[in-house]
Structure 1
């Protein structure tokens, strides 16, 4: 537990260093730039580059990204990330990454309100075209993927010029 707290503090400090300047919130960096500026997302950034999604996630469209940390990718079976990063697996990698992205901006407060307003769970379509379901577990928002796996949101509301990032502790998997 102590190790998790240290990791969360480090992630938090790193995000703050890229979103605050002289006491004001900076929103001049896009989603990819913010992730690239944080060593806890190096695997995600490598995957975004390998999938050819840099331009999509750097553009003007507003997105909410549920961003797996390096530790989330480390939970996958050995060799999974290396296999997905191969050019011949670009389509599968793209599907997994787009399953972490929702069109529009959903701040943490919006997500919690939607969960409460919808009887305890809120389903939303991802850019991949498949749903994720969000629900509360105590004070935590938990995302359930198409295969029944879950991931806890461990950091919220990292503003970008083209949306918002929420860090998650496990990789979400689409149905197909």
Structure 2
């Protein structure tokens, strides 16, 4: 058997196993619990807790969250990130800028040029060279379904104008 067939077969099995796991558990885990379980959103979860947004993101929704992972937050200088987390109003403004009301799956996101956030400002959406960008941040994972919405992972924290 060729190596490419083995790799393709392994990826297919991994996708099926993960897909079955996600399918069986998506109704149980909300956006916050899904982010915690993923293990790559600890900074985001800490920020959501500091902004007192946990109950909101555990609410019925549905919500679409463009979620920066820990690597995205690592791009922000530590002093700036600490100052943001210390300022609850500014932190809430930034975090709610990553959330869109409703459940917008990737197939629908690529048809949009913008989306209004719960913070009130619009996110610019662009498809370029087969990749999707939200305010310049690349969407690196899509359609992580939760009981109250969907998460799309982005590689940078996006900042509102106001």
Q: TM-score range by the shorter chain?
A: 0.7 to 0.9
Q: Distance in 1 between matches of 2:22 and 2:107?
A: 25
CA contact (8 A) 1:64 1:102 kept: yes
Q: After TM superposition, give the deviation of residue 28 of structure 1 in Å.
A: 1.6
Q: After TM superposition, give the deviation of residue 171 of structure 1 in Å.
A: 0.3
| Structure 1 residue aligned with 2:105 | 107
Q: After TM superposition, give the deviation of residue 23 of structure 1 in Å.
A: 6.9
Q: Distance in 2 between matches of 1:59 and 1:21?
A: 23
Query: 3-state DSSP class of the match of 1:44?
Result: helix
1:80 aligns with 2:80: yes
1:107-146 aligned within 5 A? 107-112=105-110, 114-115=111-112, 122-144=113-135
Deviation sequence 1:84-105 (CA, Å, 0-9, x none): 222xx00000000000000001
| Structure 2 residue aligned with 1:167 | 153
- Relative to structure 1, the CA distance from residue 164 to residue 22 in structure 2 (aligned partners, 3 Å threshold; closer, same or farther) is closer
Q: After TM superposition, give the deviation of residue 21 of structure 1 in Å.
A: 2.7
Q: After TM superposition, give the deviation of residue 162 of structure 1 in Å.
A: 0.4
Q: Distance in 2 between matches of 1:162 and 1:23?
A: 14
Aligned length: 147
| Structure 1 residue aligned with 2:140 | 154
Q: Distance in 1 between matches of 2:30 and 2:23?
A: 19
Q: After TM superposition, give the deviation of residue 61 of structure 1 in Å.
A: 1.4
Q: After TM superposition, give the deviation of residue 39 of structure 1 in Å.
A: 1.7
Deviation sequence 1:2-43 (CA, Å, 0-9, x none): xxxxxxxxxxx8xx86x7439746322100000011221000
Max radius of gyration: which structure?
2
Query: 3-state DSSP class of the match of 2:72?
Result: helix
1:94 aligns with 2:92: yes
- Relative to structure 1, the CA distance from residue 172 to residue 23 in structure 2 (aligned partners, 3 Å threshold; closer, same or farther) is closer
